[in-house]
């Protein structure tokens, strides 16, 4: 695998060795957890698909350490031992595929969806969610720190290989750390040392309850990108302290609700937009540093590691769009990777609307448990797909994957339908990546595409299809 040897080299994280340096970053996907807070087959198979796909490390997103900290309604709940059995089913299902599997521990604080919000200070979130949080008392702060430790112990008992503390993105820990959200006048507010106290206390509690051999990473912002928020200068100072305290890796992200630079950057933002933050942190510490943010291409990921800007690369949405990203990258045929186009529509827009997470490029997100055993069609049919826009091409790809003989037709002289139009304005060219991907897939499976073909009776008779799929509009 000489072409991507840095990305596909093992990495040591504390006592854990991951087979490659690709982390599926934590994503609160808002499905696969039942009303009692138990993980279901839906979440399990979502991760199994990505573990099978060769991902080296994966994090479950949004594991809530306390009822007041549940960010979204359908995220894993970790505040009671009752969570352990269903989590154990999930870790056991993932284990055969040699992906290191972790849980991200979070408390949403003022950025939680519900009305029982708590925070260091009674200040509403800058955007997205409404409502003034209740200020935590000192004894509640100690209770929250202990909740992180207890949750970490449950994750260890459930068979996770590591955990990540979510101290970024404007959630509770970040709220303590940043001046704009922490106006306390006690030992948890004011000076830098006071603002990071909550994080250090809960980190110690986790280590005490899980033991020093259980890897604990910490995700912090390299910059909040908001007025009076957490800065890179503070992140550099904290990184050194966290290394001294025994953190096993640092994961450098950015942004809070309402930032000028979004945590989940759209197609208008350059690839690798937060790499400079990880690079700056890496100069201060010697523990593994992860980077994230619009890193889509395996070559870019490999280069970041090669150039010493980070030790490992996290990807979120690229692994939603293609669970087999790692295996396809390793195979060398990068055209087989189904791209994330940075639209943010299926994923983050959905979950912030309290809907299940999805992906416009990958209709199987959240359906992995339903499609995992799909078999080839018997007998295969001849299928005519009318319309060579993204929907028609995707339908043709799926039918061909199942073994059907497929013809796609379009009355225009090109494929892509209205996606071509949508991709014209500046910054939107990536929309065509999905069309290019589908075109490559159809070529690979030798699907016939007839352009400039009017849908007449004569035309249909010449094809003699057993089924017709009408896909004449997708946008
Ligand atoms: C649907 C969705 C949910 C997310 N939830 C979390 C989360 O719970 N914790 C977290 O640290 N980051 C979360 N993120 C941010 C991602 O981990 C990642 O940092 C971000 O998407 C940028 O990486 P990417 O460009 O590779 O997607 C979420 C992202 C998405 C799209
Ligand atoms: S919905 Fe859009 S941004 Fe989100 S993962 Fe899919 S392609 Fe990427």
Compute the average pLDDT of residues 370-379: 86
Compute the average pLDDT of residues 344-350: 95
Distances (CA, A) of 242 to 216, 251, 286: 11, 12, 11
* pLDDT above 80: residue 11: yes
Q: Where are the domains of the chain?
A: 2-370, 375-470
Q: Are 162 and 146 in contact (CB under 8 A)?
A: no
CATH H superfamily, domain 2-370: Aldolase class I (3.20.20.70)
Atom of ligand 2 nearest to the CA of 362: 6
CA of 358 to the centre of ligand 2 (A): 8
Q: How much is the pLDDT for 407?
A: 97
Quick check: helix, strand or coil at residue 180?
coil
Q: How much is the pLDDT for 375?
A: 78
Strands 467-470 and 382-386: parallel
Pocket flag, ligand 1, residue 75 (CB < 6 Å): no
Q: How much is the pLDDT for 115?
A: 92
Q: How much is the pLDDT for 187?
A: 98
Residue 472's pLDDT band (boundaries 50, 70, 90)? confident
Residue 2's pLDDT band (boundaries 50, 70, 90)? low
Q: What is the pLDDT of residues 82-125, one digit of tens each?
A: 999 999 999 999 999 999 999 999 999 999 999 999 999 999 99
| Lowest mean per-residue pLDDT among 75-84, 171-180, 314-323, 369-378 | 369-378
Q: What is the pLDDT of residues 412-438, one digit of tens each?
A: 999 999 999 999 999 999 999 999 999
Cα atoms found within 13 Å of the Cα of residue 436, Cβ hemisphere only = 13
Around ligand 2, the residues with Cβ closer than 6 Å are 317, 320-321, 340-347, 359-361
Q: Which residue has the least CA distance to atom 11 on ligand 1? A: 26
Q: What residues are labeled active site?
A: 171
* pLDDT above 60: residue 381: yes
Q: What is the pLDDT of residues 186-208, one digit of tens each?
A: 999 999 999 999 999 999 999 99
CA distance 86 to 60: 13
CA distance 277 to 238: 13
> CA torsion sign, 65 to 70 to 76 to 80?
positive
CA distance 466 to 361: 28
Q: Are 381 and 360 in contact (CB under 8 A)?
A: no
Q: How much is the pLDDT for 474?
A: 52
Pocket flag, ligand 1, residue 173 (CB < 6 Å): no
Q: What is the pLDDT of residues 113-162, one digit of tens each?
A: 999 999 999 999 998 889 999 999 999 999 999 999 999 999 999 999 99
* pLDDT above 90: residue 383: yes
* pLDDT above 70: residue 1: no
Strand order through the sheet with 405-409: 448-450, 405-409, 382-386, 467-470
Helical H runs in 179-260?
A: 192-195, 197-210, 232-245
CA of 103 to the centre of ligand 1 (A): 14
Contacts of 46 (CB under 8 A, 6+ apart): 29, 31, 32, 365, 366, 368, 369
Compute the average pLDDT of residues 223-234: 97
CATH fold of 375-470 reads: Rossmann fold (3.40.50)
Q: How much is the pLDDT for 301?
A: 98
CA distance 313 to 325: 13
Distances (CA, A) of 31 to 84, 213, 391: 18, 31, 24
Q: How much is the pLDDT for 248?
A: 98
CA 270 to chain centre: 18
CA distance 274 to 303: 15
Q: Are 167 and 201 in contact (CB under 8 A)?
A: no
Q: What is the pLDDT of residues 34-72, one digit of tens each?
A: 999 999 999 999 999 999 999 999 999 999 999 999 999
Mutate to test the pocket of ligand 1, among 23, 24, 27, 262 (most ligand atoms within 8 A of CB): 27
Question: Residue 183: how many CB atoms within 10 A of its CB?
Answer: 13
Which of 394, 408, 398, 425 shows the shortest CA–CA distance to 465?
A: 408
Q: Which residue has the least CA distance to atom 16 on ligand 1? A: 316
Residue 346's pLDDT band (boundaries 50, 70, 90)? very high
């Amino acid at each position: 695998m000489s072409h991507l040897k840095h990305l596909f080299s093992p990495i040591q994280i504390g006592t854990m060795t991951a087979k490659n340096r690709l982390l599926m970053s934590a994503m609160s996907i808002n499905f696969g957890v039942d009303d009692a807070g138990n993980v279901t087959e839906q979440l399990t198979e979502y991760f199994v698909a990505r573990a099978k796909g060769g991902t080296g490390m994966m994090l479950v997103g949004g594991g809530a350490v306390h009822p007041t900290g549940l960010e979204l309604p359908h995220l894993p709940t970790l505040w009671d031992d009752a969570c352990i059995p269903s989590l154990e089913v999930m870790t056991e299902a993932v284990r055969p595929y040699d992906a290191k599997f972790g849980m991200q521990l979070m408390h949403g604080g003022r950025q939680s969806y519900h009305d029982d919000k708590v925070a260091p200070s009674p200040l509403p979130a800058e955007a997205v969610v409404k409502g003034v949080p209740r200020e935590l008392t000192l004894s509640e702060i100690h209770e929250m720190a202990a909740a992180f430790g207890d949750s970490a112990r449950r994750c260890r008992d459930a068979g996770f290989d590591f955990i990540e503390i979510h101290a970024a993105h404007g959630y509770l820990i970040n709220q303590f750390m940043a001046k704009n959200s922490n106006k306390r006048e006690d030992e948890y507010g004011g000076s830098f040392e006071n603002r990071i106290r909550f994080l250090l206390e809960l980190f110690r509690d986790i280590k005490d309850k899980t033991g020093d051999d259980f890897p604990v990473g910490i995700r912090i912002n390299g910059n909040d990108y908001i007025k009076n928020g957490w800065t890179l200068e503070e992140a550099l100072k904290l990184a050194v302290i966290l290394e001294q305290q025994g953190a096993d890796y640092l994961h450098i992200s950015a942004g809070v609700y309402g930032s000028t630079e979004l945590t989940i950057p759209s197609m208008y933002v350059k690839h690798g937009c937060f790499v400079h933050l990880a690079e700056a942190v890496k100069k201060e510490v010697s523990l593994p540093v992860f980077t994230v943010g619009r890193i889509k291409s395996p070559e870019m990921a490999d280069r970041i590691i090669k150039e010493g800007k980070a030790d490992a690369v996290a990807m979120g949405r690229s692994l939603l769009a293609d669970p087999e990203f790692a295996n396809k990258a390793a195979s060398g045929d990068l055209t087989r990777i189904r791209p994330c186009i940075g639209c943010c529509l299926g994923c983050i827009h959905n979950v912030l609307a309290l809907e299940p997470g999805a992906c416009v490029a990958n209709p199987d997100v959240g359906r992995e448990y339903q499609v995992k055993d799909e078999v080839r069609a018997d007998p295969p049919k001849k299928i005519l797909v009318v319309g060579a826009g993204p929907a028609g091409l995707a339908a043709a790809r799926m039918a061909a994957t199942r073994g059907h003989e497929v013809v796609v037709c379009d009355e225009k002289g090109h494929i892509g339908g209205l996606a071509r139009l949508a991709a014209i304005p500046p910054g939107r060219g990536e929309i065509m990546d999905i069309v290019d991907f589908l075109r490559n897939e159809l070529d690979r499976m030798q699907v016939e595409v007839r352009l400039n073909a009017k849908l007449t009776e004569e035309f249909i008779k010449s094809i003699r299809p057993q089924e017709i799929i009408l896909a004449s509009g997708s946008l």
